[in-house]
Amino acid sequence: MGEAQFSSRLNESDALLWSIESDPCLRSTIVAILLLDRCPDWERLRERLSFACGQVPRLRQKVVVAPLRVGVPSWQFDEHFDLDY
């Protein structure tokens, strides 16, 4: 299976949500709690995350704001991406 293809440019709704993040009143906070019945197999989890990152490049990218905030933010590969971080 090949890598999924995504645009490097944020779409309009993502760009809007990205821009309103700076205002605490407009920010949308999401919390997720995962309750496990046992300690995970960390090596297996890491292998699965590594596989997912290989299949979905977006997981290795970060949002980069255009210089002087002129233009739409874009997704770029994070050269410092470290799955173990």
**Per-residue pLDDT tens over the stretch 26-78:** 887 888 998 999 999 999 999 999 999 999 988 999 999 888 878 788 899 99
Quickly state the pLDDT bin for 5 (edges 50, 70, 90): low
Residue 1 pLDDT exceeds 60: no
More confident site: 21 or 64: 64
Q: What does the alpha-carbon distance between residue 3 and residue 53 come to, in Å, rounded to a whole number? A: 10
- Look at residue 42 in the predicted model and tell me its pLDDT: 95
Q: What does the alpha-carbon distance between residue 83 and residue 60 come to, in Å, rounded to a whole number? A: 9
Write out the H or E segment, with its range, that includes residue 49. helix 42-55
Residue 72 exposure: Cα atoms within 13 Å on the Cβ side: 13
Q: Which two tokens stand for residue 3?
A: 């890598």
DSSP 9: B
pTM (predicted TM-score): 0.68
